[in-house]
Amino acid sequence: MIGRIPENILEEILSRVDIVELIGGYIPLKRAGRNFKACCPFHQEKTPSFTLSPDRQIYHCFGCGESGNAFKFLMRHERMEFPEAVEMLAKKAGVILPEASRQDPGATSLITSIFKVNELAVLNYERSMQSIESTKAKDYLVERGISEQSARLFKIGFATERWDSLMSHLRTQGVNVSLMEKAGLIIPKDVGGYYDRFRNRLMFPVFDLKNRPLGFGGRVLDQNLPKYINSPETAVYTKGKHLYGLNWSKDAIRDSDSAAVVEGYLDFILPYQAGFKNIVASLGTALTVEQIRLLKRYTHNVVLVYDGDSAGEMATLRSLDIFIEEDMQVKVATLPKGFDPDSFVRKFGVEKFKELVQQAQSLFDYKLGIFKSRFNQKEVEDKARICTHMLESIVKFKSAVLQSEYLKRLSQELDIREEALLEELRKQKSSSPAKRLQSAAAKKPLGINPTEKFLIGLMLEENNLIERIRNSLEPADFHDERASRIVSVMFDLASQGRSVEPRTLIHHFNEEDISQIVCESIFLDDIAKHDKEKLANDCIQRMKLDRLRLRRENLHEQIKTAQHLGEEEKLHELMQEFHNLIKKG
Residues 142 and 172 occupy one common structural domain? yes
Is-above-0.75 flag for pTM?
A: no
Domain co-membership, 567 together with 463:
yes
User: Are both 218 and 283 inside the same structural domain?
Assistant: no
Torsion of CA 436, 437, 440, 445, to 10 degrees: -110
pLDDT at 315: 60
Sequence-separated (6 or more) residues with CB below 8 Å from residue 272? 150, 245, 248, 249, 279
- pLDDT for 515 equals 86
256 in the same domain as 133 = no
pLDDT of residue 552: 74
Query: Is the same domain home to 320 and 408?
Result: no
What's the rounded Cα separation, in Å, for the pair 364 and 386?
Answer: 12
Q: How many CB atoms lie within 10 A of CB 285?
A: 16
Q: Sign of dihedral through CA atoms 329, 335, 340, 341?
A: negative
**Dihedral angle sign, alpha carbons of residues 287, 293, 294, 297:** positive
Residues 123 and 173 in one domain: yes
- Could you tell me if residue 98 is inside a domain? no
Domain boundary among 440, 469, 488: 440
Q: What's the order of all strands across the beta sheet hosting 329-334?
A: 279-281, 259-262, 301-306, 329-334, 361-362
CA distance 205 to 217: 6
Residues 315 and 279 both lie in one domain: yes
**Both 226 and 273 in a single domain?**
no
Is 445 among the domain residues? no
Q: For residue 202, what pLDDT is reported?
A: 97
Q: Are residues 197 and 253 in the same domain?
A: no
Distance, in Å, from the CA atom of 330 to the CA atom of 325, rounded to the nearest integer, reads 11
The domain that holds 339 is classified in CATH as 3.40.1360.10
* Mean pLDDT for back-to-back runs of 10 residues, the chain (585 residues): 68 86 90 89 87 88 88 85 86 77 55 93 96 93 95 97 95 94 94 93 94 94 86 88 94 92 94 97 80 86 79 67 87 90 95 96 90 86 89 86 91 90 83 46 59 88 88 86 89 85 81 85 66 83 79 76 77 72 59
1 lies in some domain:
no
In angstroms, the CA 200 to CA 402 distance is 52
pLDDT in tens, 287-320: 888 898 888 878 889 999 977 665 556 666 777 8
Evaluate whether residue 585 is within a structural domain.
Answer: no
Pick left, alpha or beta for residue 106 (phi over 0 → left; psi -120 to 50 → alpha; otherwise beta).
alpha
Mean pLDDT, the chain, rounded, equals 85
**Which CATH number is 177's domain given?**
3.90.980.10
- SS3 of 86-129: the string is HHHHHHHHCCCCCCCCCCCHHHHHHHHHHHHHHHHHHHHHHHHC
Range of the domain at 39: 7-93
CA distance 508 to 191: 56
User: Three-state DSSP class for 548?
Assistant: helix
Between CA 72 and CA 459 the distance in angstroms is 23
Number of domains in the chain: 5
Angle at 127 between CA 124 and CA 131, to 5 degrees: 125
Please tell me the predicted confidence (pLDDT) of residue 134: 92
Reference 281, options 194, 154, 195, 406; nearest CA is 154
pLDDT of residue 195: 96
> What's the pLDDT score for residue 262?
94
Maximum Cα–Cα distance for the chain, whole Å?
A: 102
Same domain? For 255 and 268 the reply is yes
| CA–CA separation, 90 and 11 (whole Å) | 11
pLDDT of residue 437: 38
Count the neighbouring beta carbons within 10 Å of the beta carbon of residue 518: 31
- 369 membership: H or E segment, kind and range: helix 363-374
**Same-domain pairing of 141 and 206:** yes
Length reported for the chain:
585
Percent of the chain clearing pLDDT 90 (strictly above): 36
Whether 524 is covered by a domain: the verdict is yes
Whether 232 and 250 share a structural domain:
no
